[in-house]
Chain A
Amino acid sequence: MKRREFLKSSAAVAAGVAIGGVPWNGALGQARKDTLLAISENGPNSLDIHGVGTNRPGYEASWNSYDRLVTFGVKKDGQGNDHYDYTKIEPELAEDWTVTDGSATFRLKRGAKFHDGTPVTAADVKWSFDRAVTVGGFPTFQMKAGSLEKPEQFVAVDDRTFRIDFLRRDKLTMPDLGVPVPVIINSGLARKHATAADPWAMDWLRTNEAGSGAYRVERFQPGTELVFQRNDDWVGGPKPKIQRVVWRVVPQAGNRRALLERGDADVSFDLPSKDFTELAASKKLTIVGTPVENALQYIAFNVTRPPFDDVKVRQAVAWALPYQAIMDSVMFGRALPMFGAAKPVADASWPQAHGYATDLGKAKALMAASPFPNGFETTLSFDLGLAGVNEPICVLVQESLARIGIKLTINKIPGANWRNELLKKQLPMLTNTFGGWLNFPDYFFFWAYHGQNAVFNTMAYQNPRMDKAIDLARFAPDAATYEASVKEFVGLAFEEVPRIPLFQPYLNVAMQKNVTGYRYWFHRQLDYRQLAKA
């Protein structure tokens, strides 16, 4: 063989592989029109919201394929986009309900059927609620947040009537029925797959769906793909417009952006802030950013030991943080600033901005008056799983605090270990995000500031005055007491600064221009039922 022939043959091989990529089939155009293609970084690990370790994407799978008794209404947010409304509770599987001081009685919708055709009965509701309060872990905990704790509270009166007996009067009981946890499961079908060791069919429901929701699961390949088909017999709400939803896992952020830009994917949440800003500027896609309700990115101190047990040191740091730089070069403006309020604690809202801003003069004066006039060395920790936001924040903070004599070493903690480290409450200083599903200031403070010292009280902050104000607000008899106590604990949090809020993050979503009807939900997952594709 001659050199020329060699060249030809190897070039042909190379070309053959490269050309392998050229177009596929045009016949798919029709299917594409009725199908929504959603892409994300991670896929669900379970279809069962009650499962052990069900991840966030799992909430989305469950939300769209199961029904709950009630759901929430809708309102327009400040930018004119649809936003769920936690003040309006609306029917889903329940047709109507009556609430008395001691109980709530629900009537199920006529004609409601599970995906296998069996009718939904009150016995199914009871079985599902019993399961949620019995299996332990996250679902049980979430039910408890609404004072739903014991199977005896749930009564199937007849086929279509279901009653909940209250343990105590709790303003969160009704809203808690609309969160993703209290789903109605086809108990007849699930029981067939239950065993003596597994009476709640946890194994089977992890990969099999037994709901009555707007979409049935057609194919589930964990870590790869999930395909939904519309349930045309759904009675839970208006008939969804999208016929089929394909949800593919695309781990690489750059590729997710490329897929959106080329128009191959319809919708995605998971992109870096920088990409969202650039995509919004290019106007090729619809970008919606909604402030995540009741959520804050913050810097926390360990207040149980020096140097951060001293309030002057904490205040000095609060005056020295580079707030605006973080907004501009980490979040690219896609967050709500939570600093520099002219008149802090003017009302009883939450989240609200505190009065600190970057003022090195004030910071230095406070440091000079503290037990550490010459500064000190310590570490600032963050969760590597969220390095995209956390790492640049830490670098900016490190730079800024060096100017008031605090020398920081940045400590990167792998995602799997992060929660463990939080539980130990040993880290001197860290940055993190916390958000509460239920949008009440006292709910946020109960988890993040209360002396019960939950895992989210990352500061190990304990102050009887704070606890008293929080407890008062949780069970306040009237609006005036409620507002006064909220203002009290918010003011205390700003004055004592065990943690310094930086910003309220956005939930960003990028969609093709022909996709409409996007609605923000507190669970921060996609609801297919309102979406339409032109």
Chain B
Amino acid sequence: MLAMIGRRLLAALPSIAGVIVVTFLLTRLLPGDPAAYFAGPAATPQAIEEVRARLGLDRSVPAQFVGYLGDLARGDFGLSLTTGLPVLRELINRLPASLELTLAGLLFAVAVAVPLGILAAVRAGSWIDHATRIVATAGVSLPTFFTGLLLVHVFYSVLQVAPAPMGRLDVFASPPPHITGLYIVDALLTGDAATAWAALAQLALPALTLGIFALAPLARMTRAAMLSALGSDFVRAARASGLSRSRIVWVYAFRNALLPVLTTLGMVFSFLLGANVLVEKVFAWPGIGSYAIEALIVSDYAPVQGFVLTMALLYVLLNLVIDILYGIVDPRVKLES
């Protein structure tokens, strides 16, 4: 098992190297001149050249790349000009916020989409099947920033049940001690129920926004996989043997339908990490997505490179986890193959 994980990680190295090269080149190809931007509104051409030299942008692109690799090897992701802090520190501070949001959104999506998908398959052609289709289509066709604004309008402005969309905690609450960086988990670990509740309240709307977006692929895939499992010979055999309905659905059909659902889950998780960007903007969520987009707007290279690299590493880890889960769900799947 461990040897397998090691091999998988080694196999990921070329793709990570590729990501490093491509992001480096892409950020250099972007229009915009960070030196002119950061030299300030009244800069003279000499002042801009001074700033360019200080940022190391006066060197040739290959020389910059070698410098960048050297920094990376030392674990230095560079300095963000927009926030004035080291990129690595910012990413480490902000990653838990993004993960907490994505995981909560995914949890919601799974909790709603999987039962809906199963129901739709078990009662194919019934009203619940159609309702699932409508919910899924609506969820995926609404852009996340729109869903987010709509939810803010309804739950915050009109119904007044949601707290202000201002980040991870109310302005007057202080964050729990840092353990995992996930506020709800940290607050629960330290037995601070009030803070956990406050963090959950802040998390509800953004997580809902993300979750709604992820409903469609999960519900559709669950339904399709369940339909094919329910139509298979072993289910017919089980029915003929007079097994109870719930046993047939859960033990025989669902267990077999789980594999494609798991694959979809992995994909959904990775694209939710990307969809985060807009949701973070709407809810002033201090995650890595909003960090990267702000840096991108002003051609601040280091955070963009750091962000893409972090995402690449996350994807590698995620794929590994999904592969391991395959083996647990279906012993027939051998990782070695």
Contacts and interface: CB of A to CB of B under 8 A. Distances in A.
A207 B152 contact: no
Interface stretch (A300-308, A411-419, A519-527): A411-419
A28 B84 contact: no
A336 interface: no
Contacts of B36: 419-420, 423
B167 interface: yes
A24 B162 contact: no
Contact of A137 (B39, B118, B163, B297): B39
Interface stretch (A74-82, A250-258, A313-321, A351-359): A250-258
A17 B207 contact: yes
Given A18-B204, A416-B299, A52 B54 contact: yes
B42 A141 contact: yes
Contacts of A45: 81-84
Interface stretch (B136-144, B266-274, B284-292): B284-292
B286 A224 contact: yes
Interface string A54-72: 1100000000000000000
Interface in A121-135: none
A500 to B, nearest CB: 21
A255 B165 contact: yes
B111 A10 contact: yes
A385 B206 CA distance: 26
B149 interface: yes
Contact of B40 (A53, A225, A454): A53
Which of B42, B112, B286 is packed against the most chain A CB atoms within 10 Å? B42
A13 B111 CA distance: 7
Interface string A137-175: 110011000000000000000000000000000000000
B197 interface: yes
Contacts of A251: 281-282, 284, 290
A223 B83 contact: yes
B313 interface: no
B83 A28 contact: no
B291 A137 contact: no
A255 B85 contact: no
Given A20-B201, A24-B198, A138 B173 contact: no
Nearest to B154: A18
B204 A258 contact: no
B166 A264 contact: yes
A261 interface: yes
B173 A262 contact: no
Which of A35, A252, A416 is packed against the most chain B CB atoms within 10 Å? A416
Contacts of A73: none
Contacts of A22: 161, 201
B224 interface: no
B43 interface: yes
B123 to A, nearest CB: 7
A52 B80 CA distance: 12
Contacts of A417: 31-33, 299
A9 interface: yes
Contacts of B161: 18-19, 21-23
Given A262-B164, A416-B297, A420-B32, A53 B51 contact: yes
Contact of B297 (A39, A415, A423): A415
B170 interface: yes
B248 interface: no
Interface string B26-42: 00001111101111111
B20 interface: no
A223 B43 CA distance: 25
B171 interface: yes
Interface string B115-155: 11011000100001000000000000000000001001101
Given A45-B81, A53-B38, A455-B44, 6 more contacts: A24-B197, A51-B84, A255-B283, A258-B157, A415-B37, A454-B42
6 contacts: A6-B118, A21-B201, A45-B81, A138-B41, A138-B42, A261-B157
Interface of B: 30-34, 36-45, 47-48, 50-51, 54, 80-85, 90, 93, 108, 111-112, 115-116, 118-119, 123, 128, 149, 152-153, 155-157, 160-167, 170-173, 194, 197-198, 200-201, 203-205, 207-208, 211, 246, 281-284, 286, 290-291, 294, 297-299
